[in-house]
Structure 1
Amino acid sequence: MQSKDLVQLAEQFGSPLYVYDAEKIQSQYNRLTKAFSKVDKLRINYAMKALSNIAILQLLKEMGSGLDTVSIQEVLLGLHAGYDPEKIFYTPNGVSLEEIEEVSAMGVQINIDNLSILEQFGTKYPNVPVCIRINPHVMAGGNANISVGHIDSKFGISVHQLPHLVRIVENTKMNIVGIHMHTGSDILDIEVFLYAAEILFDAARNFKNLEFLDFGSGFKVPYKKDDIETDIEELGKKLSKRFNAFCTEYGKELTLIFEPGKFLVSEAGFFLAKVNVVKQTTSTVFAGIDSGFNHLIRPMFYGSQHHIENISHPKGKERFYSVVGYICETDTFANNRKIAEIKEGDILSFRNAGAYCFSMASNYNSRYKPAEVLWMNGEGHLIRAHETFEDILKNQIPLPVAVTTS
């Protein structure tokens, strides 16, 4: 997409606004499948927590993707978007047995990550196909909040508990069809990924009737010019060879599953916001926009850097700005960032806004959530309308008159 297209969309649909480039999502999906073309049975399950708009789900469904879900509500969204239940993978954490039972009844693939629930579920439903999430105790990821495979993580069943796990499976005679792991997000070093894969292979040897191995995801994407990223092609070459060798050893052709979220949609996303005010203080020039961490929390929550451009006047003289929001707390998107000269009314574009941006948005300060647009075949298609005051009030219930007058 070009800057002029983004400016036109901001004028057409208003700001703040999320825009997603369908062509970029498609190219990322094709890049990943091509990297693992040497694997006979490959399945991509899109991690929909990254961006759960049903139009995006439908776009990926048309490409052949399955879904990775983490809640019953995400499962329902996937079904609503037209996915067959068997194409949906459900990996919850800390949910009740009742929720898992409800999802299982829908025909979705269940992935269990703790011994207590595994034993309870296996005792009640020994014939239901179940996947087990292993914690490989590998510290990986670009931030402590997204490193989920280390020894102190709440996610997964420890590899050191495998004997206990195997005993539960033998006692319940439950049907284990897959082994899963996810070490974290923003993994750069593919050797760490390959090391964790060996732990998954070792765990898989304890089960004789597997159908798939799920390697999670966590591929790093570039966030700025010349930024480093996961070498998907090199990983594909090395892991495909090792996976195929393991299948030969195991005596069965297994399916290799990945669960990319950020890799597929992050670079496809743009967040557009209008500059409300340019404020000069004794030491800083602030560009205050019509948004805040209620719409884009990643810089404040993860310390992430999103490249910011003044797309209204991209060729102006560069100056240093701190880009801030309108929330009644410190909501700083960038400190002393060099950006083409900003004037009130200009539109700023935040790159890499496709993953964990709108999906983490809120109504904090009673602000409306922004609209979403899908750019496809040279046109902008509204896929979520701007919220209104009626949306804010929708589920609120005033005090009864009898209470207020008593």
Structure 2
Amino acid sequence: MSFFSLKNGVLHAENVALTTLAAEYGTPAYVYSRAALTAALKEFQDVLGAHPAGAGALVCYAVKANSNLAVLNVFARMGAGFDIVSGGELQRVLAAGADPKKVVFSGVGKTAAEMKQALAAGIFCFNVESAPELERLNQVAGECGQKAPVSFRVNPNVDPKTHPYISTGLKEAKFGVAYEQALALYRRAAALPNIAVTGIDCHIGSQLLDPSPFVEALDRILALVDQLTVEGIQLHHIDIGGGLGIKYQAEQEQPTVASYLNPLLDKLAGRGLQIVMEPGRRLVGNAGLLLTQIEFLKEGEGKNFAIIDAAMNDLMRPALYEAWHDINPVAPRDGASRDYDVVGPVCESGDFLGQARPLNVQPGDLLAVMSAGAYGMAMASNYNTRPRAVELMVDGDTVHVIRQRESVEQLYAGEAVLPA
């Protein structure tokens, strides 16, 4: 089901016309559907609930995808946990009502202060990503008079066949520990006085549309679990990571959650391990869009440009990854289209949200940049002293402002000129 659809010739978010949102709140604006968020998480919960191996499973939303408090709160109310990668994200999820006992802490550069913060909160687990991190965590936990629960993020060296910038499970990646070193690291962790070995973690990449690499990775991880069992190191949970992709183009196929999870659950049946997973993009990506207005239409040498009021600072993915987002007129016009590069006002040649898009538009028309709920606002910046967009959550007929549009004065409020 699509929660963004045409009604009476105008694109709506649930029951609210995007033209109404633009008139009241301005553009650019991020617009989210609460029903889409809820449906995405429920799909995971339903598949897990229907499989014997899914009992007690913990779905930990990857906060980095979209960290707005309202988004986090929607998931917390539904019983989700959270996958964090910084002390700041920990503060966010706690402010949003998260249960700290459902928080896993990933990331390659955890500081001592962040470790203390997480220990004080009583998180579920630290996903340890290097030998030096293990030693630091042991020291910090000792200073706090606690035992730190840990799993190792193990790289199975499986090619996820995704963009190289979001491929994380190969041996060349900065993330995790090498598969060949994992056994020795588990032995070391089991011997440390302030460490409690509780699980194992694996995350191979993002935006995966073929579920088969997940199965290949799990086979390697389970072989390591068996080795650890022989050595007397008994694990309590297995974190199968995230990375399940979404549909960015209307004609693109999107794997179901069942096609991803069921083969993994079948392999985990009877092992007595609690299952943890870390979906991010899959929960929020298609639950949001970026609403923008055309300022000018410009004819160039061999190209036409639709210059909009949103830019690469609002949505970085096209410039960073050459990522595709469908771009749809909010009120489609009849007639022939022309190809336009949809570009922003930022002074960079890479400032585009789409290239060679067939559009029948006029200045002042509204465009919806689809599938922008993940890594949109979360990666936004103030480049060119551009205030970040307003964020809106639509819930049926109701609109909530979940983040105010920034003002220019806020951008330099913490700065100071030199004394005279």
Q: TM-score, normalised on structure 1? A: 0.93
Bigger shift: residues 35-44 or 348-357? 35-44
1:183 to 2:204 alignment: yes
Query: What does residue 59 of structure 1 align with?
Result: 74
**Corresponding residue number in structure 1 for 2:129:** 113
**Contact between 1:141 and 1:186, CA under 8 Å: does it hold in 2?**
no
**More displaced, 375-384 or 151-160?**
375-384
Query: Alpha carbons of 1:276 and 1:129: their partners in 2 closer, same or farther (altered >3 Å)?
Result: same
User: Would you say 1:36 and 2:48 are equivalent positions?
Assistant: yes
Judge conservation of contact 2:58–2:102 (CA < 8 Å) in 1: no
Alignment of 1:7-406 (within 5 A): 7-37=19-49, 38=51, 39-108=54-123, 109-122=125-138, 125=141, 127-173=147-193, 174-205=195-226, 206=228, 208-245=233-270, 247=271, 253-330=272-349, 331-339=351-359, 341-401=360-420
Give a deviation string over 1:164-221, Cα, whole Å, max 9, x none.
Answer: 2133124315311111110000112212110101122122231533221111110011
* 2:82–2:103 CA contact under 8 A, matched in 1: yes
How far 1:137 moved relative to its partner? 1.2
Give the Å deviation of 1:242.
0.9
**Bigger mean CA offset, 14-23 vs 24-33:** 24-33
| Cα pair 2:101 2:122 within 8 Å, conserved | yes
CA contact (8 A) 1:141 1:183 kept: no
Distance 1:333 1:79, change over 3 A: same
Shift of 1:72: 0.2
User: In the alignment, residue 76 of structure 2 is paired with which amino acid?
Assistant: K
Identity in percent: 30
Find the aligned partners of 1:156 and 1:281 in 2 and give their Cα distance: 47
For 1:270 and 1:166, the matched residues in 2 are separated by 43
Q: Which amino acid aligns with 1:111?
A: N
Distance 1:396-1:255 versus aligned 2 partners, 3 A rule: same
Do 2:169 and 2:205's aligned partners in 1 also have CA atoms closer than 8 Å?
yes
Q: State the 1:119 CA deviation.
A: 2.7
Alpha-carbon distance between aligned partners in 2 of 1:53 and 1:130, rounded to the nearest angstrom: 27
- Structure 2 unmatched runs, 5+: 6-10
User: Is the alpha carbon distance of 1:333 and 1:120 closer, same or farther for their aligned partners in structure 2, counting shifts above 3 Å?
Assistant: closer
Instruction: State the AA in 2 paired with 1:72.
Output: G
- C-alpha change, 1:68 and 1:163, in structure 2 (3 Å) is closer
- C-alpha distance in structure 2 between counterparts of 1:315 and 1:29, whole Å: 37
Shift of 1:227: 0.4
Q: CA deviation at 1:98?
A: 3.7
Instruction: Sort the Cα spacing of 1:393 and 1:124 in 2 relative to 1 into closer, same or farther, 3 A.
Output: closer
Q: Is the 8 A contact 1:139 1:148 kept in 2?
A: no
Q: Paired residues, what number?
A: 394
What is the aligned partner in structure 2 of residue 404 from structure 1?
none
Paired AA for residue 185 in structure 2 = L
**Which is worse superposed, 106-115 or 231-240?**
231-240
Superposed CA deviations along residues 28-85 of structure 1, whole A, max 9, x for unmatched, are 1111222222021211111111000001110111111111100000000111111121
Structure 1 segments unaligned to the other structure (5+ residues): 248-252, 402-406
C-alpha displacement at 1:309, in angstroms?
0.8
- What do the CA deviations read for 1:227-280 (whole angstroms, capped 9, x no partner)? 0223322222211111114x1xxxxx2211111110000001110111010001
| Cα shift at 1:316 | 4.4
Coordinate RMSD, CA, aligned: 1.6
Q: Distance in 1 between matches of 2:334 and 2:89?
A: 42
Shift of 1:124: 5.4
8 Å Cα contact 2:105-2:126 kept in structure 1 = yes
**CA offset at residue 121 of structure 1?**
2.2
Distance in 1 between the 2:104 and 2:273 partners? 16
User: Does the Cα contact within 8 Å between 2:107 and 2:175 map onto a contact in 1?
Assistant: no
Q: 1:314 to 1:218 in 2, by over 3 A?
A: farther
Matched to 2:352, the amino acid is T
Query: What is aligned with 2:8?
Result: none
Bigger shift: residues 202-211 or 330-339: 202-211
